[in-house]
């Protein structure tokens, strides 16, 4: 089912229900709500992170306080964002915030802005930064290698360097296992304490130059000289399902694949997009979640400007969302599983009903959207923009 009317955008969020948070001096690229309270973290190419205190009330009273997190040796905006904060993640109990930079520095802060620890590694741009559920390990995934820090043992770490090309994403499966993906078109499942992958998945295809780009199997790509390569079919993202039983991956080959560690080949090959698939997200629904009576779904967004919501068990899309007019860099389900938010370089944020794909809310922010994040009660969305601002959208009104 397609939902494609673009001539008029209804359900606009009015300005009095939007709080604009100004203060960053360069593009804001990431944000995350605290899992326990109304604190919002943001990271920017200006080399700082900020912790905003958001309170209920009219738009002009939403902001009560802001804490700026800056390392003493941090670069400035004149360094073209090389030391920008590109990842932020709260510990599950909300007591610590981790930040990751574009130069491989991982830092841990208290909510009031005190620096607890800082780790600087030659690991490239940090592309993923995640606490495990127990909160005793921090996964810091750089473009060149992955390091897991043991927070309870000062300086204790394990390094994982299994890929042969740039790493693009990582995601915890449980408290001790995680997966990584790369430009090398491989997915490695890694285990703390092991010095080799416990499982490796291959199956995404490379893309070959020509009058029309075509997909080839790995063995066909590997036989071609590098000058014949247009794209390598890199795997852009991976996500474990809430129960950790299934792993979804998305790629430049326009496909989403579903994997199980019990098998070597994908158990589902989802194809509907016509260009590179950049984002995938599982719904926080089904067994083991706070929403056990709602079906488990998977959402995907692509450079083709569409979003598909999938019934993974059937291997087919439930509906497609086609209002965006540019690349969609962020999609996220609400914690209650009822809504899906999307943000695009077309400067629009849309909020959709998961039940039937209806557009519920819309907001035009005047700048390309880089990230979106729901608060714990599913009634506010934080949005970061290339035009240096963060917006908080109040959906209750």
pLDDT in tens, 350-386: 999 999 999 999 999 999 999 999 999 999 999 999 9
Residue 396 has a pLDDT of 86
Give the residue among 154, 150, 156 at the shortest CA–CA distance from 176.
Answer: 150
Phi, psi of 350 (to 5 degrees): -120, 145
pLDDT over 90 (residue 80): no
Which structure tokens are listed for 76?
């400035």
Q: What percent of the chain stands above pLDDT 90?
A: 79
Contacts of 33 (CB under 8 A, 6+ apart): 39, 40, 41, 90, 373, 374, 375, 376, 380, 382
pLDDT over 60 (residue 212): no
**What is the DSSP secondary structure assignment for residue 26, as one 8-state letter?**
S
Contacts of 193 (CB under 8 A, 6+ apart): 158, 176
Confidence of residue 219 (pLDDT cuts 50, 70, 90): very low
Residue 213 has a pLDDT of 47
pLDDT over 50 (residue 226): no
pLDDT over 50 (residue 6): no
CB 156 within 8 A of CB 150: yes
pLDDT in tens, 153-189: 877 789 999 999 999 999 999 999 999 999 999 999 9
Question: Bridge-partner residues for 52, per DSSP?
Answer: 40, 66
Burial class (CB in 10 A: 0-12, 13-18, 19+), 222: exposed
Q: Which residue in the block uniquely carries the two structure tokens 């920017």?
A: 44
Q: Which residue in the block uniquely carries the two structure tokens 């912790």?
A: 51
Give CA angle at 374 (320, 98), nearest 5°. 120
Residue 15 has a pLDDT of 85
CB 65 within 8 A of CB 80: no
pLDDT in tens, 301-337: 999 999 999 999 999 999 999 999 999 999 999 999 9
CB 272 within 8 A of CB 280: no
pLDDT in tens, 265-282: 999 999 999 999 999 999
- CB burial of 34-44 (b: ≥16 within 10 Å; e: otherwise) equals beeebbbbbbb
Task: Output 12-15 pairs: Cβ under 8 A, ≥24 positions apart.
Answer: 12/361, 12/362, 12/363, 12/364, 13/361, 13/362, 13/363, 13/393, 13/394, 13/395, 15/59
3-state SS, residue 210: coil
CB 68 within 8 A of CB 113: yes
Residue 342 host element (H or E): strand 339-344
Residue 62 has a pLDDT of 58
Residue 5 has a pLDDT of 36
Q: What percent of the chain stands above pLDDT 70?
A: 86
Average pLDDT over residues 223-238: 66
Residue 88 has a pLDDT of 98
Distance (Å, whole) CA 216 – CA 295: 35
Question: Bridge-partner residues for 306, per DSSP?
Answer: none
CA atoms within 13 A on the CB side of 88: 33
pLDDT over 70 (residue 75): no
Give CA angle at 104 (326, 137), nearest 5°. 100
Distance (Å, whole) CA 21 – CA 9: 24
Burial class (CB in 10 A: 0-12, 13-18, 19+), 338: middle
- Dihedral over Cα of 394, 355, 331, 359: its sign: negative
pLDDT in tens, 19-57: 999 999 999 999 999 999 999 999 999 999 999 999 876
Distance (Å, whole) CA 28 – CA 43: 6
**What is the DSSP secondary structure assignment for residue 334, as one 8-state letter?**
-
Residue 59 has a pLDDT of 58
CB 267 within 8 A of CB 249: no
pLDDT in tens, 241-264: 999 999 999 999 999 999 999 999
Average pLDDT for the chain: 89
């Amino acid at each position: 089912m397609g939902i494609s009317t673009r001539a008029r955008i209804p359900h606009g969020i009015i300005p009095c229900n939007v709080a604009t948070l100004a203060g960053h001096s360069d593009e804001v690229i990431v944000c995350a709500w605290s899992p326990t309270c109304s604190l919002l973290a943001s990271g920017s190419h200006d080399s700082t992170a900020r912790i905003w205190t958001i309170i209920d009330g009219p738009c002009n009273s939403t902001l009560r306080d802001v804490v700026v997190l800056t390392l003493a040796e941090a670069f400035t905006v004149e360094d073209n964002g090389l030391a920008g904060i590109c990842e932020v993640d709260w510990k599950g109990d909300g007591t610590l915030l981790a930040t990751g930079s574009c130069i491989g520095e991982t830092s841990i802060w208290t909510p009031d802005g005190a620096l607890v620890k800082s780790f600087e590694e030659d690991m490239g741009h940090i592309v993923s930064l995640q606490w495990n559920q127990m909160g005793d390990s921090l996964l810091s995934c750089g473009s060149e290698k992955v390091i897991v820090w043991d927070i309870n043992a000062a300086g204790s770490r394990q390094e994982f360097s299994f890929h042969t090309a740039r790493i693009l994403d990582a995601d915890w499966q449980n408290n001790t296992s995680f997966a990584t993906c790369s430009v090398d078109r491989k997915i490695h499942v890694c285990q703390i304490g092991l010095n080799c992958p416990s499982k490796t998945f291959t199956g995404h295809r490379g893309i070959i130059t020509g009058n029309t780009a075509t997909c080839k199997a790995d063995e066909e790509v590997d036989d071609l000289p590098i000058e014949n390569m247009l794209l390598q079919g890199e795997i852009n993202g991976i996500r474990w399902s809430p129960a950790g039983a299934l792993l979804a991956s998305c790629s430049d080959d326009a496909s989403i694949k579903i994997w199980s560690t019990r098998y070597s080949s994908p158990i589902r090959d989802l194809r509907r997009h016509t260009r590179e698939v950049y984002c995938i997200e599982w719904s926080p629904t089904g067994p083991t979640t706070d929403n056990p009576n709602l079906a488990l779904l998977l959402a995907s967004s692509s450079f083709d400007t569409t979003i598909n919501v999938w019934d993974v068990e059937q291997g087919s899309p439930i509906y497609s969302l086609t209002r965006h007019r540019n690349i969609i860099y962020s999609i996220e389900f609400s914690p209650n599983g009822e809504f899906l938010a999307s943000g695009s370089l077309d400067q629009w944020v849309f909020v959709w009903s998961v039940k039937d794909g209806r557009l519920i809310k819309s907001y035009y922010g005047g700048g390309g959207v880089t990230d979106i994040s729901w608060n714990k009660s599913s009634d506010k969305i934080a949005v970061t923009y290339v035009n240096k601002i963060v917006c908080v959208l109040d959906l209750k009104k």
